[in-house]
Structure 1
Amino acid sequence: MNSSLNKFIIPLSAVTKESTHSAGGKGASLGEILTTGLSVPEGFVITAQAFDEVLQNNSLTYSIKETLQQCNTEEIHTLENASEIIQGAIMNCRLPAVLEHAIKHSFQELGASHVAVRSSATVEDGKTSAWAGQLETFLGVTEDTLIESVKHCWASLYSPRAIFYAISQGFLDTPASVAVVIQRLIDSDTAGIAFSVHPVTQNTQHILIEAGLGQGEAVVSGSITPDSYVLNKGNEEATILSTTISSQEKMLVRKENTIAWQEIAPPNSKQKLTDKQLAELHKAIITLENHFAFPVDVEWAFADEKLYITQARPITTLTKKYTITPDSYVFMWETGPFMPSYLSTPRALTDRNDVYPLCRLETYFDGKKCTAYLSEKDIEMLRHTTGPQFLDEAYYHDYILRFDKELALWNSFIRRVENSEYSDASNEKLIKDLTQYFEYMRDSIAYFGSTRPEFTFAAEERLRSLLKEQFPQSWHEAFFTLITPIEEDDIQREQREWQEIPHDDVSVAKHLSKFPWLVFGEFDEQKAAEFLKSRPLSDTSEEERFTKLQNAQASILSEIRDAKEAQYLARFLQEQALRRSLIKSYWMGSLYLARKLWLEIAGRLSLHIWDVLSYLTDTDIVSGLLEGTSLSSIIERRKTGYFITIQDNSVVIMDGEKAHEFFHDNIRISVEKDAKTITGQVANPGYYKGKVRKVSVGDLSTLEASLKEFQKGEIVVTTMTQPNMMVLAQKAGAIITDEGGITSHAAIIARELGIPCVVGCLHAMTSLEDGEEVIVDAGEGKIVRLSKKATK
């Protein structure tokens, strides 16, 4: 190769850890892996200097900087406009003929028909990892599409979301570039990821391997449920501690000039890796950890029985004190023990980023109550980048299709679990169903997260804008009329059906099976049935109300200039409200439906079921079942407190004093408990003066206690309302919640009952006291405190 091009094209075999400035982090890591003797798919790197040269030759360096200066994160269209201008310029730029020839020549020397084209950022890790994380990868690229794919990788440095990160985190002027790694595409038989330190338990002597058939992207993206293997690192030979086999229904494969899904019929329920392959992976992972001198997470593939390492990243934070990005946090929700055995919300962030692209969620249990916090920057990012995607009806249609498919799978699984007997089941059977239970719980939490206010913000703002144009004085009333659902939700359906059926034991059991969320946290069928029979009845006649509401909505839409857009926005907000309530019902009800599974697990561990649910992780449970590990000390330690955070895309749990110290050192949030006024978001307009009653419903017993204490006309103050709180809400004069937006469950039932409601107050549960008198001004979204004296 011409020596003048050496700085633009580098064979992977010539790249080392010292090459980050030219080959980027990913390229440097791959070159370093080669020095260990492990196999990496052949390839070369188009250096960051080549990208810089192309920008300069096309006079883009200054114009890009000038365009970015016009961006304002408060105005999303400025980011989109800048991205469109910059990306368009990059896609249309001309490569120097000698560089284009060198790229194609290097491709031909690989002797591959298809390659993988991956972006490799040169920005510093940690400081700008969120920016680097937005860059593109393309699989199944041919010589004909090679240059275009390279340009796409370059252009991805300036997507709207990447620009938002750059500005909001204050490093717009940080020198950043991108290299492109070109590698022979491996037609893998089996592929996946591995961790040299278990990412959940942080057990340094355990290796976790996840595997699926086909291309590894299916495992990495969380699109399939992989097999999971835990191996003992301490032994020279691989010792398999646990194996969880999943049924795989589809896999990613190369088809002509693309990578596409291929159905597996019938689904493959066999072990994806042989013991020999596990042993080979075991050895490779230890080699990489020893080489990097850090725990590593590894992407790997087997093709024609040969092992390839496709990526390895040091997990440096596991070897030092944990830190989180300094930021301001806002309260998300509060409850009793979080049940970290689910790890649902954090795993939704790490495994289902396609549905819930949130970066940070910090969860803290102080020994009595559990609180969760979101980063203010993340909230702004979601509002201005992810939320606006739902303005596109085609995007929303695809979202619905995915949601409906996953909900059907979840329902099929949980009904199978409900009808299974576990008393004679093997530990392996318990673990298999428990693992799948966690996976579905994770997915439901991800979809629940995607109904949060940050995701509906853009649609709300656009609908308000259309209504203000037509109804400048009465847009507020028109807005709430349009977004109120005109069909039964699960709560209304349950109450109607309850009054239509006889209340004998068989009918009640069937009703509980259909609406299990009614008895959240109860595992005794007889107690559940007794509660159902004793609860107060309510008026469930909704037909007339729905007819009036439908007519009112039609009247409003007939006067709007762009009725089609307004109709879509209203439908989207209505459906998100119903979907949010439905998902909450599913996960609350799942405990009752899976009671035989949970009770059997608790029995075999000789532990109380609530200790298992509240204080153990899935890996703890697996260890207890397979290895007979005593879990009592873990439970006692976590009862004093724990902190759940995300480190290197893995869920980490700290407990005891370490958790308390970490929370106080890292979470900056101030609550003015004596503030005269508390503000939130209007969920249903109105004005009400009354006394506060704080309600926290953790299980059936606390719900029953709340029903007895609550006096008609009191104001419900809660973190978030639950589906089984409807009877209590019917006695309330108003509702105040810390969490939620206009699609929240509280908003729905407040509109149904016609009472004022203010949501998203953040710290009403912390600030207000039982019995104190307040005014709920649900026209302005304010809670005005009249007296702090608590009266019973």
Structure 2
Amino acid sequence: MNIKFLKDINTHDLVGGKGLNLAKMYQNGFNIPNGFVITSDVFIDFLKQNNVRNTINDLIKNCNAKIQNELDETSKKIIEILDKCKMSKLIENKIIENFETLNCKYVAVRSSATSEDGKENAWAGTLESFLNVDKNDIIQSVRKCWYSIFKSRALFYRIANCDYSDIAVAVVVQKMVQSDISGVAFSINPTNDDNNEIVIEAVFGLGEAIVSGKVTPDMYILNKNNNKIKDKIIKQQKSKLVKECNKNKWILVKNEKKQKLSDNKIIELSNTIKKIEEFYGFPVDVEWGIQDNKIYILQSRPVTKRIDNSILNTIIKKGDWQFYVARKYNWFVNNTEIYASQKEYQEKFLGFELSTQNYLCINGDEYSLDSDFHIFCDKLDIYFENDINFFENFAKIEFELVEKIKKYLKYIKNKNFEYLNTKEISKEFENFNEIYINSCIPGMTRPDDYLIYKLKEELKNSKFDKNDINNIFLKISTCPNYFPLFYSEEPLDLLKIAQYAKQGNSISKLIDEHIQKYGWMKGPLKFEETFFIKEDYLKRIDNLLDANIEDKIENIKNVRESNDIEYENILQNFKFSEKEKKLIKAIRDFIFLRTYITEYSNYLFFEARNTIFNAISKKVNIAVCDLIMLNDKEILNVLNNNTIMNKTINDRKEGFAKIWLDGNIKTLFGSECLNLQNEIENNFKNIIDEDRKLNKDVISGSIANKGKVRGVARILKLYSDIYKVNKGDILVATMTTPDYVSAMEKAAGFITDEGGITCHAAILSREFNVPCIVGTVNATEQIKDGEIIELDAYKGKVYKLD
């Protein structure tokens, strides 16, 4: 039976962080109220027996935590499902039997999630506790504790931390302490992170009063080293919470200005807090209560990490950061980008450097400084002035790199890595790592924005008028047809398969071939392995069968042909200087390379993940999804020295940040990154310029493909949102990626928060011949899902018509 008393619990029992902490302290002589824990596998069995586990996990995965209504609705659905489930009589009877063994009238019933009070996470306040529970109510209280992990606030915590693992919650049942005085204590001052201070807060009555914030507590600050009281802040307390007739009741305090704890009791409690910190080896936050002058420890957890204010202040003082893009990859990819941003690696690969000076990447949110763009431009000006063929040679290096990647891909696809010894697999990994770093350097040195800026400057100096300049850019910024690109060939190939199906032919073999060629595109750099499957493509084909497939195929071919013709016409119709011609050719080359090299870099990582990383995973017994949360040096260390990296992996899963400040790079991991992300978002990402504030019904962006259309706006924030796009809707997204293509094929127009005229949405809009505006900054926030809008891509405006 998986119900254990505190004295019998060991490290391997599934009792959650709170349950294990209480058991450890109980077994080591701390004054913990006696009790038992209903282990989390009882809860898992409850879900299995009622066959609801997969249903609940799917609801959580598809929930957008940033939309409160959606979060609340998901919570409501899950709790309704659980309410209909039955608990086994065997478990119910055992709970009642253990309750009677405690020989008390009332108990406290508390949730204890698997990672609730572990060192990496502090879930304080997200789960339910029930006090003064009697024998008649204990079963329902246990169920409510189970339910509480699905309440909105707990769901938000899980989703924000990308925690989609199997849900597990244990329940702690303890004798109820009817506290005369209660409170919390910190073994470190939580307001300034002073490790030499202990802070104690105290109120008269039950601890619920202080946790809920209904009563302002006394505060006592002690010097941890000599245990002397440094400061006391005594607060007036007019009423206190007490237990009376099976209910909590507020009663008046007789001496409302009295100090809650005597000095001797403050020092006694301080000594206990120090012992708990010494026992765990890290700063602790402790709930305590005093009954009949005896101190009881009710629970202990790590002090939640705070933001390093020095880092935050340095970032804020650096300047006005501009939000660029949001894209969250695994840590191996992120760390490789750190290498790719550095002078040493760039000079080795390119022969010159455009190293990153100031940049932020915090849990996927990326920010840059405008001032850095000018420094970047100055470097490129010097290179270009010294060598008019600079960009031609720059592009040549990147084209040659793709050819090397193609050859290497053939090699790893045909190589069996599983039978290599440790030395051999280490060498293979190092070879992959070198070419992968090189494949990431183009992404950290893109000259696209400079080239556009520079050409406009040159054309203005040559007295081109504004209309001519706009027309030139519209024609030269289309993607050239140098080589096939995965993202543009995939929808065309699927149209051909749909055409074949429409003629009554079997397409099973064609779909299998399509999967082999394009299935990797769904999310090659994500934490989890994602891959398009047959059902994904069959759904898209079903949607395409109603369309005029032949016209769509012909349109794509015509657009590509006309793009090249219009480009040549621009070169013939205008008299450009030699310098301007070089810049125009460079823009054309790097528009293509932006996608071409990114695709092959992503494909390279995808294949390595399924070959080299997979082989290493089997040797070191670490799942691939965990292995890719390590950097290259750490992976080799694990492989060659069996180094344990569990905490490092867990911290990075919780959050990570890369911070470039004046060329120096700092990395952060764990919950601190989530807090920093919120602070930076509030300071920079959520700022709307004055024009947008004055007219919220008009949204502006850059024209990517001209046209005008009215329709229903469909906001895409998650992959699952693609299924709500119907034919004729207007797709609104932060940015589009190849896994959005099924929705883009149905949409009458595209609007994105991010990106420029060379982004994925821009190029596909031309191929699909639909209007498109990009770079609106916050269309996904300003437009409501289902709202009627007009997308005017002649003016670069979106109008809200509702």
TM-score (norm 1): 0.50
Alpha carbons of structure 1 residues 426 and 648: separation in structure 2 relative to 1, 3 Å = farther
Q: Which residue of 1 aligns with 2:523?
A: 520
The CA distance in 1 between the partners of 2:795 and 2:326, in whole Å, is 25
The CA distance in 2 between the partners of 1:506 and 1:440, in whole Å, is 34
Q: Which residue of 1 aligns with 2:769?
A: 754
1:375, distance to aligned residue in structure 2 (A): 1.9
The CA distance in 2 between the partners of 1:580 and 1:507, in whole Å, is 29
Q: Which residue of 1 aligns with 2:403?
A: 408
1:766, distance to aligned residue in structure 2 (A): 5.1
- Structure 1, unmatched stretches of 5+, are 1-317, 788-792
Are 1:355 and 1:446, in contact at CA under 8 Å, matched by a contact in 2? no
Report the 3-state secondary structure (helix = DSSP H, G, I; strand = E; otherwise coil) of the residue aligned with 1:725.
helix
Q: Which residue of 2 aligns with 1:359?
A: 357
The CA distance in 2 between the partners of 1:779 and 1:545, in whole Å, is 18
Equivalent in 374, 377, 388 of residue 380 of structure 1:
374
Q: What are the within-5 Å matches in structure 2 for residues 186-335 of structure 1?
A: 323-324=314-315, 326-335=318-327
Report the 3-state secondary structure (helix = DSSP H, G, I; strand = E; otherwise coil) of the residue aligned with 2:553.
coil
Report the 3-state secondary structure (helix = DSSP H, G, I; strand = E; otherwise coil) of the residue aligned with 1:732.
coil
Are 2:559 and 2:766, in contact at CA under 8 Å, matched by a contact in 1? no
Residue by residue over 1:312-346, the C-alpha shift from the partner in whole angstroms, topping out at 9 and shown as x without a partner, is xxxxxx9x979557222111211345544542332
1:582, distance to aligned residue in structure 2 (A): 1.0
Alpha carbons of structure 1 residues 565 and 687: separation in structure 2 relative to 1, 3 Å = farther
Q: What are the within-5 Å matches in structure 2 for residues 148-187 of structure 1?
A: none
Residue by residue over 1:704-739, the C-alpha shift from the partner in whole angstroms, topping out at 9 and shown as x without a partner, is x34422222233333332244334322222222333
Q: Which residue of 2 aligns with 1:635?
A: 649
Are 2:354 and 2:376, in contact at CA under 8 Å, matched by a contact in 1? no
1:428, distance to aligned residue in structure 2 (A): 3.6
1:371, distance to aligned residue in structure 2 (A): 0.8
Alpha carbons of structure 1 residues 650 and 568: separation in structure 2 relative to 1, 3 Å = closer
Report the 3-state secondary structure (helix = DSSP H, G, I; strand = E; otherwise coil) of the residue aligned with 1:343.
helix
Equivalent in 692, 714, 718 of residue 733 of structure 2:
718
Report the 3-state secondary structure (helix = DSSP H, G, I; strand = E; otherwise coil) of the residue aligned with 1:363.
strand
1:377, distance to aligned residue in structure 2 (A): 1.4
Alpha carbons of structure 1 residues 520 and 611: separation in structure 2 relative to 1, 3 Å = same
Q: Which residue of 2 aligns with 1:597?
A: 612
Alpha carbons of structure 1 residues 578 and 372: separation in structure 2 relative to 1, 3 Å = same
Are 1:346 and 1:361, in contact at CA under 8 Å, matched by a contact in 2? no
Are 1:483 and 1:570, in contact at CA under 8 Å, matched by a contact in 2? no
The CA distance in 2 between the partners of 1:560 and 1:466, in whole Å, is 15
Matched, 1:684 2:705: yes
Q: Which residue of 2 aligns with 1:654?
A: 668
Equivalent in 558, 579, 601 of residue 572 of structure 2:
558
Matched, 1:584 2:572: no
Which amino acid in structure 1 is aligned with residue 442 of structure 2?
Answer: Y
Alpha carbons of structure 1 residues 582 and 421: separation in structure 2 relative to 1, 3 Å = same
The CA distance in 1 between the partners of 2:701 and 2:447, in whole Å, is 15
Report the 3-state secondary structure (helix = DSSP H, G, I; strand = E; otherwise coil) of the residue aligned with 1:688.
strand
Matched, 1:620 2:634: yes
Are 1:740 and 1:760, in contact at CA under 8 Å, matched by a contact in 2? yes
Q: Which residue of 1 aligns with 2:437?
A: 442
Q: What are the within-5 Å matches in structure 2 for residues 395-474 of structure 1?
A: 395-451=390-446, 453-462=448-457, 465=460, 469=464, 473=467
580-589 vs 657-666, which moves further: 657-666
The CA distance in 2 between the partners of 1:421 and 1:682, in whole Å, is 48
The CA distance in 1 between the partners of 2:437 and 2:777, in whole Å, is 24
Are 1:329 and 1:373, in contact at CA under 8 Å, matched by a contact in 2? yes
The CA distance in 1 between the partners of 2:438 and 2:553, in whole Å, is 32
1:464, distance to aligned residue in structure 2 (A): 5.7
1:403, distance to aligned residue in structure 2 (A): 1.2
- Structure 2, unmatched stretches of 5+, are 1-307
1:680, distance to aligned residue in structure 2 (A): 3.1
Q: Which residue of 2 aligns with 1:110?
A: none
Equivalent in 707, 714, 722 of residue 693 of structure 1:
714
Equivalent in 484, 493, 496 of residue 478 of structure 2:
484
1:669, distance to aligned residue in structure 2 (A): 1.0
Q: Which residue of 1 aligns with 2:745?
A: 730
Residue by residue over 1:402-424, the C-alpha shift from the partner in whole angstroms, topping out at 9 and shown as x without a partner, is 11222222222232222222222
1:514, distance to aligned residue in structure 2 (A): 4.7
Are 2:358 and 2:661, in contact at CA under 8 Å, matched by a contact in 1? no
Alpha carbons of structure 1 residues 785 and 545: separation in structure 2 relative to 1, 3 Å = closer
Report the 3-state secondary structure (helix = DSSP H, G, I; strand = E; otherwise coil) of the residue aligned with 2:658.
strand
1:374, distance to aligned residue in structure 2 (A): 1.2
TM-score (norm 2): 0.50
1:644, distance to aligned residue in structure 2 (A): 1.4
Residue by residue over 1:524-551, the C-alpha shift from the partner in whole angstroms, topping out at 9 and shown as x without a partner, is 8996455456542663334433444444
1:519, distance to aligned residue in structure 2 (A): 4.2
The CA distance in 1 between the partners of 2:398 and 2:336, in whole Å, is 17
1:754, distance to aligned residue in structure 2 (A): 2.2
The CA distance in 2 between the partners of 1:526 and 1:753, in whole Å, is 24
1:447, distance to aligned residue in structure 2 (A): 0.9
Alpha carbons of structure 1 residues 436 and 692: separation in structure 2 relative to 1, 3 Å = farther
* Higher CA-based Rg: 2
Report the 3-state secondary structure (helix = DSSP H, G, I; strand = E; otherwise coil) of the residue aligned with 2:751.
strand
The CA distance in 1 between the partners of 2:613 and 2:390, in whole Å, is 38
Are 1:602 and 1:609, in contact at CA under 8 Å, matched by a contact in 2? yes
Report the 3-state secondary structure (helix = DSSP H, G, I; strand = E; otherwise coil) of the residue aligned with 1:424.
coil
The CA distance in 2 between the partners of 1:753 and 1:473, in whole Å, is 25
Report the 3-state secondary structure (helix = DSSP H, G, I; strand = E; otherwise coil) of the residue aligned with 1:616.
coil
The CA distance in 2 between the partners of 1:600 and 1:714, in whole Å, is 45
1:622, distance to aligned residue in structure 2 (A): 2.7
Q: Which residue of 1 aligns with 2:68?
A: none
The CA distance in 2 between the partners of 1:572 and 1:395, in whole Å, is 9
Q: Which residue of 1 aligns with 2:201?
A: none
Are 2:715 and 2:733, in contact at CA under 8 Å, matched by a contact in 1? yes
Alpha carbons of structure 1 residues 574 and 507: separation in structure 2 relative to 1, 3 Å = same
Q: Which residue of 2 aligns with 1:203?
A: none
Alpha carbons of structure 1 residues 567 and 452: separation in structure 2 relative to 1, 3 Å = closer
Are 2:477 and 2:587, in contact at CA under 8 Å, matched by a contact in 1? yes
Alpha carbons of structure 1 residues 425 and 747: separation in structure 2 relative to 1, 3 Å = same
Are 2:521 and 2:531, in contact at CA under 8 Å, matched by a contact in 1? no
1:568, distance to aligned residue in structure 2 (A): 4.2
The CA distance in 2 between the partners of 1:438 and 1:786, in whole Å, is 52
The CA distance in 1 between the partners of 2:614 and 2:562, in whole Å, is 47
Are 1:695 and 1:716, in contact at CA under 8 Å, matched by a contact in 2? yes
1:785, distance to aligned residue in structure 2 (A): 4.3
Report the 3-state secondary structure (helix = DSSP H, G, I; strand = E; otherwise coil) of the residue aligned with 1:669.
helix
Which amino acid in structure 1 is aligned with residue 613 of structure 2?
Answer: W
Q: Which residue of 1 aligns with 2:754?
A: 739
Q: Which residue of 2 aligns with 1:124?
A: none
The CA distance in 2 between the partners of 1:630 and 1:659, in whole Å, is 23
